Amino acid sequence: MQYRRFGRLDWQGSALGFGCMRLPTVGGDRSQIDEALATRMVRYAIDNGVNYLDTAYPYHGGESERFLGRALQDGYREKMRLATKLPVRMVERTEDFDRFLNEQLSKLQTEQIDYYLFHGLRAPRWQTVQELGLLREAERALADGRIRYLGFSFHDSFELFKEILDSYDGWTFCQFQYNYMNEEYQAGTAGLEYAASKGLATVIMEPLLGGKLANPPAPVQALWDSALQQRSGVEWALQWLWNKPEVSVVLSGMSAMAHVEENVASAERSGVGLLGKEELALVEQVRQQYEALCPIPCTGCGYCMPCPNGVDIPRVFATFNNGVMYNAFDEARHRYVRMSEESRASACIACQQCEDLCPQDIPISEWMTVVEQVLGEGRAYEACELPAG
């Protein structure tokens, strides 16, 4: 295993961290973890040098922390450092900080959480942290030893990311979504470099964009196949991250033993500067190829909104585009049917008011018909008649 400095701390974390949000389950129930298999996976990772495990209060319906409390028995807790998160969206009173933290300590069967995060900070949740004085509560937990270091995970703009970093000197680390498709998304490359410049460790989540980069479509695979050094789509994505000196730990949410074995092996081959100019140029080609597969040129500007009939046009198009670009129609359909009925493409009445406002001249109403056929009715994308242009 390769190890990397964890921000300003005199400790090195494994290049690969184990994310415990996508553990194997049984019976199609996310709360029913396949404990025997998941325990073998976690212990294999630790036995092979992984020393950073990440979980959170709501993962697997609240069962991820309980599972880890059992899986880390027999001396495994002492071999690694454990991260979990305060569910800020569930916090209503200042006293909830202690209530959740003490419950998590009990579930994890530990007296101390090494790395404690405010979970999923975006503007409203950061406001909750400030208004309820949760940083003060965290400092009390640091002082009494229930937690060792404080950080946050993040889902918002770079501007808010910078504001959070600059507003408090006690951060040790931060966690955010980052991959070669998301250099300008949320915190992005700018956030990575800014956090590192302030001495914070950077923990990367969604390195495979929720698994979408694991099984490339044919045009992308053809590019990977052209490389002199052959790697899987997964390893290309991971090595691109490990190539950066600012990255501390890359989390992978592994759901099969094969994933653990492959990712541990990749981490052993990792290193800053491993990828040369030609390989980095190839990754950029791949990114451009993915973007070229995007069928609807929606930039998410929102000029089309609000729709008089309630359709969430940017969200509908983003869901559809992701399904097409990454050949992930099952996930796209799952996300689509979870939208409120009035916000789906099926609610479009083709009034075309939005089309007069769209700076990209997208035939929105025509695309809404296609989206509903593919995501709502389950029709094959290839079988649909697409709008001209």
Question: 366 and 248, same structural domain?
Answer: no
pLDDT, position 158 = 95
Q: Helices 277-292 and 233-242 meet at what angle, rounded to 10?
A: 120
Chain centroid, CA 349 distance in Å: 35
Q: Enter the DSSP assignment of 240.
A: H
Q: Is residue 297 part of a domain?
A: no
Strands (E), 47-125: 52-54, 81-86, 113-121
- The pLDDT value recorded for residue 258 is 95
State pLDDT tens for residues 249-282.
Answer: 999 999 999 999 999 999 999 999 999 999 999 9
Looking at the fold, whether 351 and 260 belong to one and the same domain comes out as: no
How far, in Å, CA of 197 to CA of 191, rounded? Answer: 10
Asked if residues 26 and 34 have their Cβ atoms less than 8 Å apart, the reply is yes
Share of the chain above pLDDT 90, in %: 85
- Is residue 303's pLDDT more than 90? no
Contact between 183 and 297 under an 8 Å Cβ cutoff? The reply is no
Mean pLDDT (the chain) is: 94
Residue 269 sits in the same domain as residue 321:
no
Residue 387 has φ and ψ, to the nearest 5°, of: -60, 150
Q: Give the model's pLDDT for residue 236.
A: 96
Q: What percent of the chain has pLDDT over 70?
A: 100
Residues 220 and 277 in one domain: yes
∠ CA 30-344-120, nearest 5°, is: 45
123 within domain boundaries: yes
62 and 295 in contact (C-beta within 8 Å)?
Answer: no
Residue 179 Cα distances to 185, 212, 354, angstroms: 9, 11, 32
DSSP string across 155-196: -S-HHHHHHHHHH-TT--EEEEE--TT-TTSTTHHHHHHHHH
Confidence (pLDDT) at 217: 87
Is residue 303 included in any domain, yes or no? no
Domain contains 292:
no
Band (382; pLDDT cuts 50, 70, 90): confident
* Cα 312 to Cα 304: distance, rounded to the nearest angstrom: 9
Last-in-domain residue among 267, 284, 301: 284
Question: What CATH number did the domain enclosing 248 receive?
Answer: 3.20.20.100
Q: What is the pLDDT of residues 102-155, one digit of tens each?
A: 999 999 999 999 999 999 999 999 999 999 999 999 999 999 999 999 999 999
- Can you tell me the mean pLDDT for 332-343? 94
Domain endpoint, select from 284, 303, 325: 284
> Do the domain assignments include residue 324?
yes
Same domain, 209 and 332: no
Other beta carbons within 10 Å of 319: 22
- Is 212 domain-assigned? yes
Looking at residues 218-246, what average pLDDT do you find?
95
Q: Rounded distance, CA 372 to CA 320, Å?
A: 9
For 307, residues 6+ apart whose C-beta sits below 8 A from its C-beta are: 313, 348, 353, 354
Q: What is the pLDDT of residue 81?
A: 96
The pLDDT of residue 389: 61
95 domain residue, yes or no: yes
Instruction: State pLDDT tens for residues 29-69.
Output: 888 999 999 999 999 999 999 999 999 999 999 999 999 99
Same domain, 164 and 46: yes
How many alpha carbons lie under 13 Å from residue 143 in its C-beta half-sphere? Answer: 6
Q: What is the pLDDT of residue 210?
A: 82
- What's the pLDDT at 211? 84
Closest of 206, 117, 121, 132 to residue 163, by C-alpha:
121
Comparing 101 with 211, which gets the higher pLDDT? 101
Confidence check: pLDDT of 298 > 90: no
pLDDT of res. 78: 95
Structure tokens belonging to residue 272:
């800053």
Q: Are residues 113 and 210 in the same domain?
A: yes
Residues 269 and 190 in one domain: yes
pLDDT value of position 147: 98
* Total structural domains within the chain: 2
Cis amide prior to 306 (ω within 30 degrees)? yes
Question: Which residues constitute the domain of residue 329?
Answer: 313-383
For residue 302, tell me if it sits in a domain: no
319 shares its domain with 232:
no
Please indicate, yes or no, whether residues 73 and 151 belong to a single structural domain of this protein: yes
pTM: 0.85
Domain shared by 70 and 28, yes or no: yes
- 214 and 129 in one domain? yes
